[in-house]
Structure 1
């Protein structure tokens, strides 16, 4: 529970940086960015869940964060090149995992 602040601090810091630094992403990259952000959020909620279960490992969190984000954006790009809306599969998979992790975190907090 003591390392739970790491992913939460990363999420807050990322949101603050995003709000304070106005970066405009062209519309053609919106699919890639949306999938990458969803994958990153999935990793953050997975890190929070692991922290609550006293199973958090910083190396696993960081490697999962970057590999999930890059793989999701790459799959969306490959799907565009093939003319297939492949990003929808990533949205579905990461969305389901995000809601599962959120439900487990909520249950853990309610039991306390």
Structure 2
């Protein structure tokens, strides 16, 4: 779990100090890809709290979710349909589900420490 947080912190620092821009045409693709990768990160954090974390599953899910989201966005863009809404809805709802599970784990751990368990 510490590796996940360290990697996230490193990514934020690198992203802050290395200016990276992309054309506005790709903004939709980037937003969906970022949401998909955030879903994978929160899922890995949740799995780490549950003691079920597997690095291979995290890496394949991280890459697979981002690629699937980009492909859905591309196909929808070519067809003139907003198919990217599917990715936004699924990844967004999973992100909030993972966040609520993480919160419950943290609150439970804090309560157990206060009770001396």
Is TM > 0.5 for Structure 1 vs Structure 2? yes
TM-score normalised to the size of structure 2?
0.90
How many residue pairs get aligned? The number is 109
Q: Which moved more, 1:59-68 or 1:16-25?
A: 16-25
Please list, as runs of the form range in 1=range in 2, the aligned pairs for 1:1-112 lying within 5 A after superposition: 4-112=1-109
In 2: Cα distance, 1:96 partner to 1:64 partner: 16
Displacement of 1:16 in angstroms is: 1.6
Distance 1:94 1:66 in 2: 14
Mark the runs of 5 or more structure 2 residues left unpaired by the alignment: 110-117
Unaligned runs of 5+ in 1: none
Offset at residue 7 of structure 1 (A): 2.1
Q: Report the TM-score when normalising by structure 1.
A: 0.93
Q: Contact 1:8–1:44 at 8 Å: present in 2 too?
A: no
User: 1:9 deviation in Å?
Assistant: 2.0
Which runs of at least 4 in structure 1 moved beyond 3 Å after TM superposition?
Answer: none
Q: CA deviation at 1:20?
A: 1.2
